[in-house]
Structures are given as structure tokens and as C-alpha cells.
Structure 1
Amino acid sequence: MTITALRPSLSTRRPSFEAPVTSGSSAVAPKRATAPEPAPRIRPVPDGTEARGFVLYVGLGEDAAAADHIELARLVGELRALTSRLAPSAQTHAAVALAPSGAGGRDVDVVRRALGDPAVQQPAVETEPGIVIDLTRKRVAIGDDIAPLTYREFELLQHIVLREGSTVDRCAIIDALWDADAADRPNERTIDVHVRRLRSKLGAYAEIIRTVRGAGYRFDRHADVTVLATATGPSPDRF
């Protein structure tokens, strides 16, 4: 609420008890000292700690950014430039939050959850019965057990899971997960070996990765399969 002070009329204005300062024949009213505005205060921090900076969560999807006629990279650059101008000693780090297409929800809530804002309560996930593919923690839980997947096996599973309902051919898997000049770049038959090893560690849920004969592999969601999708960091499709 804004309170506006009304200027008193001439008939009701109280006389000043301060004598005017005279200079020659002219009277000059004394200047009143203006109290400086208080600096903004941060929340009290626990004993033994100190404030070292802050986080500003910006919720702005690509479509909204396009509607505002700005690219995210430019916006990040402008905010960094402003910070550098106002506080030359400040150090900055920008992280873009990614989410699966069509995930829904407010952009800023997705960003806060993806970047680990402790003030955001993470939704509880029922893990029994079934399998939980946690793309954020990069692990697969089968009941109370964690499947012993290697890094490559998990990335292969993740690559197929992120393309739910679509057939991913073997060549596309190779191109996405290995550099063209990688010494260990596999061939199509080697991908079959990787998938076979992955399935062996999924136990009763081996068939969540289906073979599409002559085409590749596909992941279809089941009632007993829960996927916790990642929304932060670089593309998960690179080793």
C-alpha cells in the first residue's frame, strides 16, 4: 500500500520554528537533511555461517523467450553484464534447466526443482512395487535394490527411455552416445551386446526395453515403471 503525503494549504500550514538563513536581502529556507534509504537486509543466517551470494531462479521457456523476442543466451549475457557493472567483484555461473518436452508445470518451478532449491518439496515417489529409473541420480531401483548398471549401460538405458514410444535404431544410438573418432566406437552388433547386458541387470523388468525387429529398440511406459526425469545440466546423451 502506498501512502501519499498531502501538501498542507497556506491557511493551515504550521509556521516554521527555524529562522530562515539570510543572505543580503534574500531569505533562504534551510535545507532539511534527507535520511539515506536503508540497505536491503538478507535473512539472518545461522551462527558460524556467512552469506556468500544468492541464486536468482528465472523461469522462461524457449517458446516464451521467443514470444518476448529474446534468446536465453542473450538474456544470460545481459544479466551477467548488469551484475558485473553493479558489483565488479561478483563471480557468476549460469545453468540452464532442461526438462522433457511437454512436461508441463510453471517454468520457474521446474527450474527451482531441477537446480535443487531446498525450499521446493520434492514429490514423494512410490517405489514398491515396480522399478524406478531415476535420471536425476542416474540409478535404477528395483524394489529396495539398486541395479548394478555401469555408466555406459545407464546412459544407453537413458537414451532409449528419453525417447519413450519411439523406435531408436542402432546407428542413431552409436552416433548419439559415441564420438565419431572414439577409439571404442561400437558397431551395430556391439549395441546388441550392450542391450543384452543391460537387460540381464534389469531382472524381471528386462522387457521394458523392447526389440523392434529390423529397426532397433523402444521403451514403452508400464504401470509398474516410474521415470524420474532430469531437468538440468548438459545433454544426457553424451559419454
Structure 2
Amino acid sequence: MSLATVSTLPTAPAAPAPALRLVPDGSEVRGFALYVGIDEAKARAAGVDLPALVDALRALTAELVPSAETYAAVALAPAGLGGRDVDIVRRALADRTPAGTPKPETKPRRTGLTLDLGRKKLRIDGETAPLTYREFELLQFLVLREGRTVTRTEIIGALWSDAEQDVPNERTIDVHVRRLRAKLGDYGDVVRTVRGGGYRFDRHADVVIRYGEGPSPDRF
């Protein structure tokens, strides 16, 4: 009685599962932080001290990746503070994110543009905008003529009427407007260019104008 020989083909090893990546598009990994929760008493009980443990981890890293750079920081906490060592270390080193959770991207909160003509202040999303005196005067001049196209000649005559020298030309006004728009950021389009005419201020729903207690002497 003969036995049939069964041939088997070698099976290819299963492909490793792709690693879970929590890296946003446009970013790259430049390193990692390994938090070690252990106090000096536990280290001594294990027959090692903390400097020796740090040196051993650095030596292992250098062995695996000779070009890697390392930095060690010691986490300090009040004596007798309860809680897990590793959590105390993370809090002490300013990592308050739950382990394994990507930190959310923070975006500035949009609160709008507030122009206070009485106090001569402009706030953008809650922050004071660094306008120069001339930039504020230019913005105010346009705001007080809201919805009306103002020519470059009008701007020069109003804002440089008492200047004895360095009176700008019309092209220079364009430069001033570009700088103003840049400082207005996301709200720069409130100052619109009217082709062949000049400039016009168009208010948005998120723009607040405060005129102060009395009418501006510039308003008409």
C-alpha cells in the first residue's frame, strides 16, 4: 500500500499591518517623548539610580540609531503628592493630553473687527491691531464715508493737507492701503478698490463701528 505524497507550497508571510499615524497632512515626525514614571526610591530598590537609568536609555538609543539626538529632563513634584508617577511626570513636563490622543490644532477665535473712533483703537478678533497713526487716520477717513467711493486725491487732500513736505502721490496712497489691508488680516476686504475711482469702505456683519459720545468732526 503506497501513500500519496502531498506537496505544499510555502506560504508568504503576512504583510505587517500599517502603523497607525496621527500626523496631520503637511507635518512630519521629528522625534518622540518617552515619559518614565519612577521615583528615586523605586530605582534604588531595583538596583539602579536615575542617572544610570538615563545613561542606559541614551546608550540604547545611540546603539540603535547612532545619529539620534537625546535630551533628558527631570520632573519635580511636591513631596508626598499622590497619583501615578507617569501622570505626575507628564503634568510636570507640560503634557496634559491623555496618552495616545493627538493634540487638537488651535485656531484663533474669530470675534470680528471693532473700530473705536473715540478711543482711536482697532481690535481684530479681540487683539489690538498695531496700526500707525497714518493707517488709523486712513481707515477712519474711509469708514466715515462708508459706502461712498473716495478718490486718492481726496485722501491726500484730507490727510496731508497741513503737510509741508513729503506729500504722497496717488501711487503712494495705494501702498498705504495695501499696508492697511495687510494689518486688517481676514477683514482686509472691508476696504475695496473701485477701478478707476478710488477706495470704498464696505461694512461686514462682523464689523462694529463705535463713534464715541459725540459726532466726529471729520464726518459729513
Range into which the TM-score falls when normalised by the shorter chain: 0.3 to 0.5
If the length of structure 1 is used for normalisation, what is the TM-score?
A: 0.43
Q: Which has the greater radius of gyration?
A: 2
If the length of structure 2 is used for normalisation, what is the TM-score?
A: 0.47
> Bigger relative contact order, structure 1 or 2, given CA contacts below 8 A and separation 6+?
1
